[in-house]
Amino acid sequence: MRNHTAFSTPTSSPSLFGAIVAPAAALLGSLALLTSLGACSGRHDPAGEQPAAEGQAAQPAASATTLTIKGSDTMVILAQRWAEGFMAANSGATLQVSGGGSGTGIAALINGTADIANASRPMKDRERAQVLERRGGEAHETRVALDALAVYVQAGSPIQSLTIPQLRDIFRGTVTNWNQVGGPDHEIVLYSRENNSGTYAYFKEHVLEDMDFAANVQTLPGTAAVINAISRDPFGIGYGGIAYAEGVRPIRVAAEGGEPVEPNLTNATNGTYPLSRFLYVYTAGAPSGLAQRYIEYVLSEAGQSIVEGVGYYPLPREGAAAEAAPAAEAAPAAEAAPAEAAPAEAAAEPAAAE
């Protein structure tokens, strides 16, 4: 059984994300200690964090007042803002936030060098088994935000929409000229995340159907780098979280046989945008102590307001009556994540990043 903080909406809801009730958690009282901000970085470590060797015991990272959070580059700015807000409300708590990718964060959780892993894709079964073996507790999943994985072109590009099959052909290298999809007569320039990225894994599964990317795709170490490259390239195309949109334009995306849909809050929440996904945090075992308090803050009105401020989408709320139980008290849920948010298995990589 997979442990996660469960959210549920009424069964009559047609939403792709009908499995959520957005939790609301009360902010905690101030701890009478010194406030400090840990190192916050979205820089990718090419070596990545590797899980501990088989049979090697993981070393716990937590302390009563310090929390180490690693993982998704998609989420690193969001996690930094959460950390700042939490520490402002909890004097004495120190939160250290870094990126590197979903795979890096999950490996750090397995190794015991992180208390919380941020991930833009669900944890894989083999990773869950490693958490249980090396940390002594089942991986506990909490959905913390919604994202519409956007497909970006330069702001001035004439391309307004593409279908999933067209995107598959473009990123596999079958379609190589923009005039094949209604654009100018020019070679298409492809930009992608590296294969330790959760965003890469999601795109590979849900768009490429787990087939390989074209050999000429330019892989870059973070979504910000992908967006920067596209903003300078009138013939470029790439993908990333919806919060990264400066100098570029997200196009509308159509499922096969469907109409083009804009990536926005409404369409991500009701599931009509075909590349909608959850963002997650993971702990080894049900969160407790400082980790529990932090996750409660993330799910609170203040924490979800930060989600919106950064540019992602807050979890849907079912009116004023929706109140969150503390994360540690959440009942384990046997339900699977929606099919559209299933993990993407990329061959021989430690886990995924963004």
pLDDT at 303 over 80: yes
Q: Who's near 123: CB < 8 A, 6+ residues apart? A: 106, 131, 139, 141, 280, 282, 343, 351
Single pTM value for the model: 0.74
List Cα–Cα distances, 223 to 50, 110, 192, 242, 312, in angstroms.
22, 25, 8, 10, 14
pLDDT at 29 over 50: no
Residue-level pLDDT at 164: 98
Q: Compute the average pLDDT of residues 41-57.
A: 43
- Position of tokens 């069964």? 11
Least confident of 17-21, 162-166, 212-216, 313-317: 17-21
Handedness of CA 241, 242, 245, 250 (dihedral sign): positive
- Higher-confidence residue of 330 and 71: namely 71
Q: Compute the average pLDDT of residues 90-110.
A: 96
- Higher-confidence residue of 95 and 329: namely 95
